[in-house]
A and B are shown apart, each in its own frame.
Chain A
Amino acid sequence: MTMGTTTEADDPTLRQAILETLQRIAPEVSPREISPSRPLRDQVDLDSMDWLNFLLGLHARLGVDIPESDYRKLVTLDDLLRYVSAKRRG
């Protein structure tokens, strides 16, 4: 598997799915206020339980299982988009 570098981050459907999953964890978040290139957990108050629930939500919705060793790669929303997109094509 290679990490995508081109257009996956622009997939609006996938972006929407990720943001909706995030909003179920943090309802106060406005998707438009999230900068895709800044660390997500700096912008949204997510503790480790929230993060785990977020990943569980992504798994339920998109069928991706993210190993713990990959957490450190998933810093920004764009990182997540690329990662999930690559995993699904995987």
Chain B
Amino acid sequence: MFEFRLPSLGAEMDEGTLLEWKVKPGDVVHKGDVVAVVDTSKSAIDVEIWTEGTIHELVLEPNRKVPVGTVMARLLEPGESVEHAEAEMRALPAGAVSAGAHAAVASVGDAPAAAAPAAAPRAGTAAAAAPSRQRVSPAARLRAQALGLELTGVTGTGPEGAVTLDDVEKAAAAMRPADRAAAAAAVATTPAAAVAPAVAGRALAMRSAIAAAMARSKRDIPHYYLAADIPLVHLQRWLAARNADRPLTGRVLMAVPLLKAVALALRRFPELNGHHVGDAFVPAESIHVGVAISLRQGGLIAPAIHDVDALPIDELMRRLADLVARARALTLRSSEMTDATITVTNLGEQGVELVQGIIYPPQVALVGFGRVTERPWIEDGKVSVAPVVTASLAADHRASDGHRGALFLNELARLLQQPGQLDAGAT
């Protein structure tokens, strides 16, 4: 028997609300099957199972907000009998099989129940400075509630000593992981109705999720930034010819060959594709490109398209269109939320020429494309007018150096001069 726990569905996620189960006891599941829908601050996510098994018991009830790591269900391994599983359960010490949040706390950090947030010692000074009622901004209060953070322990730096969202984030960041799990577990006992996500709450929660991830990135990642102008004469001509005799449904957007070229270039630059885990960079075996998608209600999300380097252009276009539609409808899959090995952002759509991106941790690089504009271009001593895009790279200096980053942009430029090759996947 094995346990299925709430996975982290993004760098900033530390809790989620189970919305519904997609399976019932007795169902046989395979790797990649959607077993549950979980609401995070960003989106309702279809959570996939990572391995084969048979659902034995659904531990978690819908509409409960619980921390990452909470046991959601127990499953039988392939070939395992119910009797065997139940005997195994009985053999375990009682504490180990207690349902829900308690089990999660034990597994996440063995946090003693009495563990106070690390920020607590500051409570004394805060109280001395402000004996009257504590002032707290609404966003800060919501975020603190979501994090299970005790506000009395937080020193406010806002107007008249008010606790701001930033103060809450700093206090939360100062908590040890074990304390954080304990605090989050405390949140789990809050009635579901009190924490049910509302539309306004979602926007606020997404804002603070972005704030947490980006603050972490800027705090932890020594970014370096490079940019290069790339002429797109050949690519634009190739794309126009390709789209000219196709119906609307068969047309390919410029973003697609750009994504494909990034993925192909990454094959030669593994130090830009992967994750920084603990103290070391771990290169990824596959190239899963996160695509930054802005949402109409505000905020953004960067779900991944898997194995972009191996996809034909038309298939990549279908995947991109599908991904954008589902991101906007807030129906993404867990693997899309967690698997990205690099992110690409295409702010050129909004008219800017240069993007200097912030890396999405624990990834180590972000590629940005500006707007394709007609510019004077000199080649072989002749000036002509050419469509040009400024491609940029923000990369983690712990994993790669500027020299390699520059070579990556050169490789990207080279690939974009041979658009016909992009479809074949050849380099």
Contact = CB atoms under 8 A, between A and B. Distances in A.
A68 B238 CA distance: 13
A27 B296 contact: yes
Interface string B231-262: 00000000010011001110101110000000
B223 to A, nearest CB: 26
Interface string A47-62: 1110011011001000
A28 interface: yes
B349 interface: yes
B249 A49 contact: no
A9 B89 CA distance: 73
Contacts of A90: none
Contacts of A12: none
Nearest to B320: A49
A69 B240 contact: yes
A45 to B, nearest CB: 8
Nearest to A46: B349
B173 interface: no
A75 B244 CA distance: 19
Contact of B249 (A28, A47, A56): A56
A65 interface: yes
Contact of A52 (B251, B296, B350): B251
Contacts of B249: 56
B251 A68 contact: yes
B313 to A, nearest CB: 15
Contact of A48 (B247, B248, B325, B349): B349
B296 A28 contact: yes
B199 to A, nearest CB: 13
B255 A48 contact: yes
Contact of B296 (A26, A56, A66): A26
A65 B251 CA distance: 12
A68 B255 contact: no
A56 B240 contact: no
B306 to A, nearest CB: 19
Contact of A49 (B247, B321, B350): B321
Given A48-B254, A48-B349, A49-B324, A65 B247 contact: yes
Contact of A47 (B244, B248, B321, B349): B349
B324 to A, nearest CB: 5
Given A27-B296, A49-B324, A65 B248 contact: yes
Contacts of B296: 26-28, 45
5 nearest A-B residue pairs (beta carbon): A47-B349, A68-B243, A48-B253, A49-B324, A56-B248
16 contacts: A45-B350, A49-B255, A49-B324, A52-B248, A52-B251, A52-B253, A52-B321, A53-B325, A56-B248, A56-B249, A59-B248, A66-B248, A68-B243, A68-B244, A68-B251, A69-B244
Interface of A: 26-28, 45, 47-49, 52-53, 55-56, 59, 65-69
